[in-house]
Amino acid sequence: MPEQVIWGMEVFLNGLMAGVLYALVALGFVLIFKASGIFNYSQGVMALFAALTLVGIMEGQVPFSHLINATFGTEIHHFGWHVPALLAILLTMAVMVLLAWLVNKLVFQHLVNQEPIILFMATIGLAYFLEGMGDMMWGSDIKTLDVGLPQGINPMIDEVTYGIFGYGFFIDNLDLWATGIAAVLVVALVVFAQYTKQGRAMRAVADDHQAALSVGISLNFIWVMVWSLAGFVALVAGIMWGTKSGVQFSLSLIALKALPVLMLGGFTSIPGAIVGGLIIGVGEKLFEFIVGPLVGGATENWFAYVLALVFLVFRPQGLFGEKIIERV
């Protein structure tokens, strides 16, 4: 087998793994959009905020320490303890639920029945607020996150592929884990949405507020629940990306990569977010591998958006989105 093809296969696999991470972020968008019609621009910042909080809790950092020190002239930075990863994740989740409750109570409860563009603007505001809040609470320096997920080359895959092709594939353990976790998360979310009372109520609220009220569904409960779920997905995405490339501001920019994923998969489809993420991940890695050298590289920066543009022209509702039928 020509080595170009073998390398191509490795690139393909790595693309799949990258795609899983895109899909994770896109999933957060889909959840909120489905249940409340809000396009949540702050999803990426939520991932950053979750990762920052997780690191902060694990390291025993004192929140707002800069502010406190500047105000009172003290010098406190750490509580002096370390919290085990699992407990820290649970605590962070509690913070995300609290955040969901606050966001609904202080912002979106007052914007019920407003135009989508107004809701969208509110989420942009929320994004910048959260970003500043994250900075203020935990500081703006780049942090490493290690919750104990294995990293580095997977020797088994390396060995097996070497045995077959005479060339060992480089597949990162972390990516393998991310794939597994994402798969579990997706299955759990689908089961939740399809088969549980709360999931059914969530779909009902997404469809018609009045009707939902008339069968006894509390809109506020569902909204807080959905924002919490999105917070949970953000936390998972934050852990994966944070472990991979450090917890830093650029983490929030992965949200922008989720946009083309949503164009492909459709804003309302959970499987769509997954498939869309995989297509973008594989597409941009393969494109870079095949076409990149011909045009001087850096195609990964724009490939996803161009692909999304093509999709917008030919299939505006995405691969799995609900078909747009206008009755006249």
Partner 1 sequence: MNEMNTEGYVTEDGRKIGGVVMEMRNITLRFGGVVAIKDISFDIRQGEIRAIIGPNGAGKSSMLNVISGFYNPQVGEVWYKGERRPQMKPYQVARQGIARTFQNIALFEGMTVLDNVMTGRLRHMHAGLVAQSLWKGRAEAEEVKNRESVEKIIDFLEIQHIRKTPVGRLPYGLKKRVELARALAAEPSILLLDEPMAGMNVEEKEDMSRFVLDVNDEFGTTIALIEHDMGVVMDLSDRVVVMDYGKKIGDGSPDEVRNNQDVIDAYLGVAHD
Residues in contact with partner 1 by the rule CB under 8 A? 188, 191-192, 195-198, 200-201, 203-204, 206-208, 210-219, 322
Instruction: Give yes or no for a contact between 123 and 104, defined as CB atoms under 8 angstroms apart.
Output: no
From the CB of 217, what's the least distance to partner 1, in Å?
A: 6
From the CB of 207, what's the least distance to partner 1, in Å?
A: 4
Cα separation, 317 vs 218, in Å, equals 30
Nearer to partner 1, 187 or 290 (CB): 187
Cβ within 8 Å of residue 158, ≥6 positions away: 168, 169, 170, 171
Largest CA distance in the chain: 69
CB atoms within 10 A of CB 199: 16
Nearer to partner 1, 113 or 214 (CB): 214
Nearer to partner 1, 117 or 325 (CB): 325
Cα separation, 217 vs 220, in Å, equals 9
From the CB of 59, what's the least distance to partner 1, in Å?
A: 32
From the CB of 315, what's the least distance to partner 1, in Å?
A: 19
Token digits for 194?
């399809």
Segment holding 287, helix H or strand E: helix 270-290
CB atoms within 10 A of CB 216: 7
Nearer to partner 1, 197 or 313 (CB): 197
Nearest to 230 by CA among 185, 293, 176: 185
3-state secondary structure of 153: strand
Instruction: Give yes or no for a contact between 249 and 237, defined as CB atoms under 8 angstroms apart.
Output: no
Cα separation, 33 vs 269, in Å, equals 10
Which CA distances in Å does 129 have to 123, 133, 135, 182?
A: 10, 6, 10, 28
Nearest to 300 by CA among 313, 290, 310: 290
From the CB of 191, what's the least distance to partner 1, in Å?
A: 5
From the CB of 260, what's the least distance to partner 1, in Å?
A: 25
Nearer to partner 1, 167 or 192 (CB): 192
From the CB of 318, what's the least distance to partner 1, in Å?
A: 15
N residues, the chain: 328
From the CB of 201, what's the least distance to partner 1, in Å?
A: 6
| Unique residue bearing structure tokens 């490339």 | 245
From the CB of 205, what's the least distance to partner 1, in Å?
A: 9
Nearer to partner 1, 192 or 305 (CB): 192
Nearer to partner 1, 194 or 250 (CB): 194
Nearer to partner 1, 71 or 210 (CB): 210
Nearer to partner 1, 199 or 246 (CB): 199
Cα separation, 78 vs 68, in Å, equals 12
